[in-house]
Amino acid sequence: MYRIAVTSQNFRTITPHAGRTRRFLVYQGAPGGTPELVDRLDLPKEQALHDWGNKDGHPVFEMEAVLCGSCGRNFVAKLAKRGVDAVATNETDPEKAVRDYLMGQLSHAEVHDHSC
């Protein structure tokens, strides 16, 4: 069973700037299955991943994937070191994005050279 965090500052749509995001919708689902919303993370400012550094213990590090509207290469690399797949997408509907990810059909957006 996968746990997938989706960046969503408004808890309704996928939002950009993954490294600065402090609000995430957390879904659970199996590959090819239907995702279920299981949690909402509303983290304090110091837990934005951009500022977290390389410390252990961030709740996002417990996910199998993070889906976001935009992110930088450093963000992708930082999460990859923790075994988390970071995927930027143009999809704005969180549940559809997670469903597509679980089916291996999520459309990817360009990852930026800068961190965000």
Burial 18-47 (b: 16+ CB within 10 A, else e): bbbbebbbbbbbeeeeebeeeeebebeeee
The model's pTM is: 0.95
Domain assignment of residue 66, given as a range: 2-102
Mean pLDDT, the chain, integer: 94
Could you tell me what percent of the chain has a pLDDT over 70? 97
pLDDT grade, residue 112 (50/70/90)?
confident
The answer to the question of residue 43 being in a domain is yes
Could you identify the residue written with the tokens 């299981």?
38
The answer to the question of residue 114 being in a domain is no
**What is the domain-level CATH number for residue 88?**
3.30.420.130
The answer to the question of residue 116 being in a domain is no
The answer to the question of residue 111 being in a domain is no
Distance, in Å, from the CA atom of 75 to the CA atom of 85, rounded to the nearest integer, reads: 10
The answer to the question of residue 76 being in a domain is yes
The answer to the question of residue 75 being in a domain is yes
Distance, in Å, from the CA atom of 116 to the CA atom of 112, rounded to the nearest integer, reads: 8
Total count of residues recorded for the chain: 116
Q: Domain count for the chain, please give it.
A: 1
Could you identify the residue written with the tokens 């976001």?
68
Q: For residue 115, what pLDDT is reported?
A: 47
Q: Which two tokens stand for residue 109?
A: 């957006």
pLDDT in tens, 35-63: 999 999 999 999 999 999 889 999 999 99
pLDDT in tens, 85-104: 999 999 999 999 999 999 99
